[in-house]
Amino acid sequence: MSTTFQLDTSTSRANPTPAPIKRLTVPALRQRKQGRATADPVVMLTAYTARQAQLLDPHCDLLLVGDSLGQVIYGLPSSVPVSLDMMIAHGAAVVRGSWHSVVIVDLPFGAYEASPEAAFAAASRVLKETGCAGIKLEGGAVMAPTVEFLVSRGIPVIGHVGLTPQAVNVLGGYNARGRTDAEAAKIVADAKALADAGAFAVVVEGVVEPIAVAVTEAIDSLVIGIGGSVRCDGQVLVTEDMLGMFERVPRFVKRYENLAETISAAAARYAGEVRARTFPGIEQTYQPKG
C-alpha cells in the first residue's frame, strides 16, 4: 500500500488516502515499444493543478507539468521566465491529484543548461519536492551528456527536439522546423543522441511529418508527437488548447471542447443574477431553524 491524495470535491481539499500502488512506471511505458514499433500508443496531456490532474489521470499514461504553464497559467509571453519554484509547486499539485499516470515535470530555462551537475541539482530537487517520476528537458545532441549524467544517477528523462519553445529567441518564433535537408538531418541526429544517452522518450514538436516518422523509426525510445505524425509512439497536447480555452489554435491542435465559451456564458449568467438580486436564493442561504 502507498499513500496518495484524493481531492475532496465537496471541500476542495486534498486528503491523504491509502490506495494500492497502481501508478504506471517508466519501465512499463518504455516496454510498449518493441522492434521500434508501439502497438499501444502513449497518451500524454499537460496538467498544472491537482483538480485538473484528477480529471485527466484516468485517461492518460503520462501527465506533463509543462513549462507552458508560463503562458497558460501566468500569462507570460513565453516559457523563458518560468522558475524552478513554479514548476515544483505545480508538479507537487499534479502528483497529489493523480494515482495512475507517470508524472513528468519540465526543467525550466536556466535550470539545467550550464552543466550536468547543475541539471542534477535541479532535477533531484524536483523529484524530492514533487514526488514525480522524472523530468523533461529541451535540446538535442548538446544535451546528451547531461541526459546520460541524469539517467546514470537514477533520474528518468524525456528529451525534446524540433521546435523547442525555450529557444524561441534563437529560433525567431514558433514556426515548423525541418523544412531544409540540413535541419531535418539535425533533428533526427538530435533525437538519436538523446535516445543513445538514455532518454526513455523524446518529444518531437512542430516538425514536418516525414521527420517525425523518421525519428520514430530510428530510435528505440518512445517518440511523443506534438505537431508530428499519427505514426509516433504517442501524442501530447497542452490541455487548455485541446479544451478550447484560447482563441488561437495552433495547426497541430484539435479542439475537443470549447470551454472558453462555456465559462464565459456561466459567468454572464451569474453576473446577471447578482445584478437582478436573484442570487443567492433560498437554496443558497442559511435560514433560522424553527
Task: State phi, psi for 193 to the nearest 5 degrees.
Answer: -65, -40
CB 71 within 8 A of CB 103: no
Report residue 170 as a C-alpha cell.
534563437
Determine the Cα–Cα distance for residues 68 and 226; give it in Å rounded to an integer: 13
Report residue 218 as a C-alpha cell.
530510428
Task: State phi, psi for 228 to the nearest 5 degrees.
Answer: -120, -95
Sequence-ordered list of residues with C-beta below 8 angstroms from that of 130, at least 6 positions apart, any chain: 65, 88, 91, 92, 94, 95, 103, 105
How open is the CA angle 37-193-42, to the nearest 5 degrees?
35
Q: What count of other Cβ atoms lies within 10 Å of the Cβ of residue 187?
A: 23
Write down the catalytic residue from 205, 209, 217, 247.
205
Determine the Cα–Cα distance for residues 84 and 126; give it in Å rounded to an integer: 8
Is 67 annotated to bind ligand?
Answer: yes
Active-site residue 273, yes or no? Answer: no
Any bridge partners for residue 4, and if so which? 17
Is 181 annotated to bind ligand?
Answer: no
Is 138 annotated to bind ligand?
Answer: yes
Determine the Cα–Cα distance for residues 125 and 132; give it in Å rounded to an integer: 11
Is 106 annotated to bind ligand?
Answer: yes
CB 44 within 8 A of CB 224: yes
- Residues marked as binding for 3-methyl-2-oxobutanoate? 67-68, 106, 136
Residue list for the binding site: 67-68, 106, 136, 138
The catalytic residues are 205
